Amino acid sequence: MSPGRVTSVATLVFVVLLVVSLGGCSEKSSQKPERDNTPPELVSATAVDEIHLNVTFNEKLDETSAEDAGNYTITPSLVHAEATGLLPVVSGVLLQDGENVLLETDPQLGFDYILEVSGVKDLAGNAMSAQTTEFSGSTQSDTTSPVVTRTIPADGAWDVDTLTTVTIEFSERMNTGSVESNFEILEGPFGGYSLPGSFSWEANNSRAIFTPADPLEDFAAFHASVGTGATDVSGNPLESEYSWSFETGEGGTVTGTISYSPFIAQGESQVYGGVFIGLFRQPCFFEPDVQGWSEALGPYTVEPVPPGTYYVAAALDVNGNEDIDLGEPAGMYDPGQDGSPDPVVVTAGKTTRGIDLSLDLVYRLCTISGTVSKRPEVTESDTTYALFFMEDPTAGGEADPWGMAVLPNGTGPYVSTPLPFGCYYIICFMDLNGNGELDFVGEVPSEPVGIYGEVSGQGEPVLTPVFVVDDVTDIDMTLFYFDGPTVPPFSLSRMRAIVPRTSWESGFRPVR
């Protein structure tokens, strides 16, 4: 399975950790698209200056064949004493739109030429037979600035091999010394030390290859740039600095088998539908840190995975709408079958095998319930709000509630609003003055607070997460006057912002 199969399971919490989109699904056509069997056509050729020719085609092209100078032949349309043979094509560069190729030639003369093109392919692999077009040669001096057309690694690439070279492809032949003296690669996205190395050149000096003197650091960020001092062979500089970044890291691999026995019990010989797979750094995170896709039940592979500890979960897309819907099977790596996911350790360059997932859960919304009581010093009986978070709100960062419960009399039984699969940290407080906020004196709450967890010896709240893949009961809390500074403030408007989530009218759509 390719890691690129799921570009963004922009998830909510996953089925056992993945959150789901319950939005509407669109019907998918059962009609297969027709195969493209038509080769590209040559549209026109226009001289840009005395050494550049822009060639236009009618569709997007295969890069390798489009940039092969051997696929282009230029001859003068009339016999001139000045040009009795071919006009050499030095190099070709496929421009960003995919339909135009910029050729570099030997200097042209001011008369008509015939361009013949053959062997150029489209994206479907259809190769064109010989086609010709005429163009007028140009005697205008080369004033076209070169551009960087591609880099390897690409901008934003990650999990790049630490033994990589750095390739820079230009739109034309370059002054090699100017490029080498204006190239820099720094370790760190915002600067660092410049890496030493050496250059080699290919494709008639339009492709520079930088080889670092030493292997790059594992899982490090690098920033590379080519400055405006880099020029082509005519002395035209880059119009602006070109820069890009990438990250190294030798990732690991997670493999296993995904099964769903209820379908087999119903006599189905094959289950159609892909499987979303999420790897989470923490079981309470609502977005996977690494995501994968398997075309069907059975063996799966997720790679590359940065080293670390993960919790693994999956969901079967039964109806093929590329969403995870209510009623669809889900599961997690829980070999002990205690209802909580077990950690999976991933090591760089190694394969973690046997991470088998049984989709024995059915995704649905669940509730947490219990009782709120109060200590004797709390004599008031005003409205109490209980809040449910997927991230620990006492950990220092901002956390938004995913559910709430309201106790009009301050104490008694409560039931949360519907919650997706995941785990939750719970805090409650009594709103004594009815202003919809947890009030403070300095950094200490002035209203009663309750937590599901305990207070440490240093007086700090330590919340106990509640894992939810079914309705959970007996999650009791006691209100008291807390004297610590680490309980975050909340407002009623912020709490009410979570109410639309209970309808699940919006959410993420996993994109393959």
3-state SS of 424-470 is EEEEEEECCCCCCECCEECCEECCCEEECEEECCCCCEEECCEEECC
Contact present, 229 and 139 (Cβ < 8 Å): no
Residue 417: both structure tokens together: 């609003």
DSSP 8-state assignment for residue 496: H
pLDDT of residue 70: 93
Name which residue leads in pLDDT, 508 or 89.
89
- Per-residue confidence band for 479, with pLDDT thresholds at 50, 70 and 90: very high
Peptide linkage before 393 cis (omega within 30 of 0): no
Answer yes or no: is pLDDT of 47 > 90: yes
* Residues in contact with 61: Cβ distance below 8 Å, sequence separation at least 6, in sequence order: 40, 94, 98, 99, 101, 120, 121, 122, 123
pLDDT of residue 482: 85
Q: How many CB atoms lie within 10 A of CB 227?
A: 17
Residue 363: both structure tokens together: 């995704």
Residue 185: both structure tokens together: 């690669």
Answer yes or no: is pLDDT of 385 > 60: yes
- Dist. CA 175–CA 177, nearest whole Å: 6
* Triad 188, 193, 196: Cα angle to 5°: 115
Pick the range with the lowest mean pLDDT from 240-244, 386-390, 430-434, 459-463.
459-463
**Assigned CATH topology for domain 253-362:** Immunoglobulin-like (2.60.40)
| Domain range summary for the chain, segments of one domain joined by + | 51-136, 148-238, 253-362, 369-502
CATH code reported for the domain at 51-136? 2.60.40.1220
Contact present, 361 and 469 (Cβ < 8 Å): yes
Contact present, 385 and 281 (Cβ < 8 Å): no
Helices (H) and strands (E) in the chain, counts: 4, 37
- Per-residue confidence band for 32, with pLDDT thresholds at 50, 70 and 90: low
Contact present, 170 and 146 (Cβ < 8 Å): yes
Answer yes or no: is pLDDT of 448 > 80: yes
- Dist. CA 106–CA 89, nearest whole Å: 7
Contact present, 148 and 239 (Cβ < 8 Å): no
Characterize 257-273 residue by residue with b for buried, 16 or more Cβ atoms within 10 angstroms of its Cβ, and e for exposed: ebbbeebeeeeeeebeb
Q: What's the pTM? A: 0.52
Decide whether 51-136 matches 253-362 in CATH topology: yes
Query: Is 3.60.15.10 the CATH classification of the domain at 148-238?
Result: no
- Residues 114-168 pLDDT 10s: 999 999 999 999 999 999 999 999 999 999 899 998 999 999 998 898 899 999 9
- Per-residue confidence band for 487, with pLDDT thresholds at 50, 70 and 90: confident
Nearest in space to 346 (alpha carbons), one of 447, 457, 254: 254
